[in-house]
């Protein structure tokens, strides 16, 4: 984390990255198997699959876990390779805003599919 010194928050950051990686193993396996078991990838088939409550909840977990895991990884890359303070701060802010925006957009899409069209 910016401004915390060489070890400030590193342990928690390391632990969260490992935790999200471990969480992605069963989530990724579920996603791959679920998609492989679909009879086809027609729009109606995929929409019907995504509208199931358990599927929607697991898709939300996948999106949140991937988003946070990606954010943590990009943060490490920026902190390791961007040395000038201003560009580092801008890159970290851009990464945080970008990851948040993508996660919100994905969550919105999943919820829109899950709850179907509003009359």
| Domain enclosing residue 93, as ranges | 10-115
Q: Does some domain include residue 61?
A: yes
pLDDT values of the chain reduced to their tens digit, one per residue, 119 residues? 555 555 667 889 999 999 999 999 999 999 999 999 999 999 999 999 999 999 999 999 999 999 999 999 999 999 999 999 999 999 999 999 999 999 999 999 999 999 987 54
Rounded CA-CA distance 19/67 in Å is 13
* The overall pTM is greater than 0.85: yes
CATH number of the domain to which 38 belongs = 1.20.1300.10
Q: Does some domain include residue 2?
A: no
Pinpoint the alpha helices (H) of the chain. Answer: 10-36, 43-50, 53-81, 85-115
Q: Does some domain include residue 36?
A: yes
Q: Does some domain include residue 23?
A: yes
Instruction: Count structural domains, the chain.
Output: 1
Q: Does some domain include residue 4?
A: no
């Amino acid at each position: 984390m910016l401004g915390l010194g060489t070890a400030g928050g590193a342990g928690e950051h390391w632990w969260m990255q490992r935790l999200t990686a471990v969480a992605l193993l069963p989530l990724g396996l579920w996603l791959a198997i679920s998609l492989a078991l679909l009879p086809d990838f027609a729009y109606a088939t995929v929409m019907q699959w995504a509208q199931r409550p358990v599927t929607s909840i697991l898709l939300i977990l996948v999106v949140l876990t991937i988003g946070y895991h990606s954010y943590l990884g990009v943060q490490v890359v920026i902190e390791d390779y961007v040395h000038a303070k201003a560009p580092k701060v801008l890159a970290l802010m851009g990464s945080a805003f970008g990851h948040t925006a993508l996660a919100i957009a994905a969550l919105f899409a999943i919820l829109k599919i899950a709850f179907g069209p509003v009359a």
